[in-house]
A and B are shown apart, each in its own frame.
Chain A
Amino acid sequence: MSGASKHLATAHSVVEPGPWAKRIAGTLVVLYALITMIPLFWIVTTSIKTPPDSISYPPKIFNFTPSIEGYCNLFTTRSRQTQEYIESLGPATSRCDQIARDRSMVVVGESNYWPRFVNSIIIAFGSTFLAVFLGTLAAYGFSRFRVPLKDDLLFFILSTRMMPPIAVAIPIYLMYRELGLSDTALGMILLYTAINVSLAVWLLKGFIDEIPREYEEAALIDGYTRMQAFFRVVLPQATTGIAATAIFCLIFAWNEYAFAVLLTSGTAQTAPPFIPTIIGEGGMDWPAVGAGTTIFLVPILVFTILLRKQLLRGITFGAVRK
């Protein structure tokens, strides 16, 4: 290597950060990630502790014996029985049964956690699908056609996000009671769709604006209808935007708590309001709550990992123009 090129190889680039800057930035990112992981770590470890371990003081961080008691308690209902009664029963039918008997209880049935979890899936995915579907059509319309009062309409759509949705909780509660939508999956899907659709329209409009019109014009000339051009040419190119938007909508609908508490109590109750109601003997059953929360985190985690590229693109969207 000649002197000049050696010099070039070690020279600082104007745009590339230097090695030290990179190391410091990397350390900071890892630190930040660790700090944000603490609550998650606590939830997951709590779910595999025994109830006494979960509330011991000083707290047991690593020095506890793992147990599946939390998960057993999450999925079952139990009743306290006398020692004589328990001894009169046959041998325990499962490990959960054995754990319950050790605590002088017997398993009497399944808990409501699983139906609530299914409700969450139906409502969150249903409302996400509707919000993204309607949002894509609306965004396409706003992006491509001469809509009268377009800017005012777009501002109006955005303005629905300017107050916390819970501010209209009471009118919605009354409305839903009158319409018979209280505690129904349909009601919750409509509500979350209404809240998410404005975000979906705005996000997707940005993505669709970036797709050159020539593609559709080419399709229109090639003999396709506007609808066919939309489905065959625009949609395939908007998949990134659609995926990013879907994640944002899903995260909101999946985690929503306030409306779920207010409007659902039984058949349509979602997991978030159900989890805090898991009460054990003599206080909160923290391992069961931890178990419920851990399982609740799984779908969103999987969905986000599957679409993480699109999510990143959605976050940095608009920062760099082509």
Chain B
Amino acid sequence: MAEIRIENLHKAFGDFVAVKNSNFVVHDGEFLALLGPSGCGKTTTLRMIAGLELPTDGAILLDGENVTFNRARDRDIAFVFQLFALYPHMNVRKNIGFPLLAQGVPAAEIRTRVEETAKLLQIDHILDKPVSGLAGGDRQRVALGRAIVRRPKCFLMDEPLGTLDAEFRDVMVRELRELHNRIKATTVYVTHDQLEAMAMADKIAIMNKGVVEQFGTPEEVYNRPATLFVADFIGSPGMNFIRFEGALQAGDRAIQIGGAPVAVPEIHETLTKGPRVLGVRPEHVRFDPASPLRGTVYETEYLGTTQIVALELLGSIVRARTGAERSFTLGEELGVTFDAKRLSLFDAETGRAVDTALMREKPVAVEPRARKTAHG
């Protein structure tokens, strides 16, 4: 297993820049999700790590070895494609054994290793079936089997659950994470689905227009988004943005919105007057009849245990997540407060998060791989 180090990785297709000066490190045994909307460069990054695309600039290091321009077959990595790319003219057994055949592994050993792998993935009963008749989940497992049978340095997966239906995807998410816990292989997983990324990954790299906007644990990207894009992309519904004009002073613990003071985490930098954004997660909106901030109920969405209440507040729509037991009437006026310690501030011009006490909060110490074992 190996560490993957990406240094100033850059890829242009003619005039179109697909990946712009990316830098990140995936530590040995870590599960990284590359998350972003389509066309953000996540798949291109993955293909460059695999050796299917060559970068315009920058370096890729596998376990310290520079493999930037090495052939794919010399990198000792495994790749799971979105459509699985199972060879249609071979049965399951031959598909899984195909990488071993390339390495010149003796037939008897291929047989035992394929069977071990199939047992691990619980597909040993379909080994001699043709791949064409398999169900989506079994195809997925065969593709995984072909990847793990070789014991490569790392796994690269390109939206491997993208074609499965929602119900089955949840099952596979759990299976994939369980598999990762068992074999502890460094994994880079491309997805546009934040739930998949949050559920599986130790680290998430959120990409937008070829740029890695933030790299961190799921908790970090959710609780301390580094940019407006990340704040909006992560979370469902996304973070509420309240625009305001103002100067920020280091040491301040409140800002002025609509004439009312709003407590925020202590600000650590000074910014002159300009357009700013206050970011509030829906679950950090509270109702307090005494609050001077007043909003009117615009719509409600009932979700069973919680409900989403959309309020018209200071000219924008603010969504609040609250218990399902309370009922609201449309047009009802409510006093609103926010959970002061959990608010984000952004500079609207650059989209960057303002340095506050929240941003400097020590990440909660979690052993990355122990964190998810509850699944297993």
Contact = CB atoms under 8 A, between A and B. Distances in A.
Contact of B85 (A214, A223, A225, A228): A214
Contacts of A87: none
B89 A237 contact: yes
A221 B83 contact: no
A218 B157 CA distance: 12
A218 B85 contact: yes
B151 interface: no
A150 to B, nearest CB: 15
A134 to B, nearest CB: 23
B52 A221 contact: yes
Contacts of A99: none
Contact of A222 (B51, B71, B83, B102): B102
- Secondary structure type dominating chain A contacts: helix
B88 A221 contact: no
Interface stretch (B72-80, B202-210, B303-311, B349-357): B72-80
A197 to B, nearest CB: 26
Interface in A217-242: 217-225, 228, 233, 236-237
A214 B77 CA distance: 15
A222 B99 contact: yes
B98 A221 contact: no
Interface residues of A, number: 16
A232 B150 CA distance: 19
A213 to B, nearest CB: 9
Interface string B97-128: 01100110000000000000000000000000
A228 B102 CA distance: 9
A221 B89 contact: no
A110 to B, nearest CB: 47
B73 A222 contact: yes
Contact of A224 (B52, B81, B102): B102
- Most chain A Cβ neighbours within 10 Å, of B52, B83, B150: B52
A59 interface: no
Contacts of B24: none
A233 B72 CA distance: 16
Contact of B73 (A214, A215, A223, A237): A223
A3 interface: no
B115 to A, nearest CB: 19
Given A222-B102, A224-B73, A215 B52 contact: no
Nearest to A239: B89
B180 to A, nearest CB: 19
A171 interface: no
Contact of A214 (B75, B78, B83, B103): B83
B139 interface: no
A214 B89 contact: no
A91 interface: no
B87 interface: yes
B79 A223 contact: no
Contacts of B146: 218, 222
Nearest to B149: A222
A109 interface: no
Contact of B72 (A212, A220, A236): A220
B320 to A, nearest CB: 45
A22 B77 CA distance: 56
A130 B99 CA distance: 32
Given A214-B81, A228-B102, A220 B73 contact: yes
B73 A225 contact: yes
B148 interface: no
B6 interface: no
A126 to B, nearest CB: 28
Contact of B79 (A221, A225, A228, A233): A221
Contacts of A218: 79, 81, 85, 87, 146
Contacts of B103: 223
B51 A221 contact: yes
B50 interface: yes
Given A222-B98, A223-B103, A236 B89 contact: yes
Interface string B157-186: 000000000000000000000000000000
Given A221-B73, A228-B102, 20 more contacts: A212-B83, A214-B83, A215-B85, A217-B79, A217-B85, A218-B87, A218-B146, A219-B87, A220-B51, A220-B52, A221-B52, A221-B77, A222-B98, A222-B99, A222-B146, A223-B73, A236-B87, A236-B89, A237-B88, A237-B89
Interface of A: 212, 214-215, 217-225, 228, 233, 236-237
10 contacts: A217-B79, A218-B81, A218-B85, A218-B146, A220-B71, A221-B50, A222-B78, A222-B102, A222-B150, A224-B73
Interface of B: 50-52, 71-73, 75, 77-79, 81, 83, 85, 87-89, 98-99, 102-103, 146, 150
- For the complex of A and B, the 9 pairs showing the least CB-CB separation, nearest first, are A223-B102, A214-B85, A222-B99, A218-B85, A236-B89, A220-B72, A223-B73, A221-B79, A214-B81
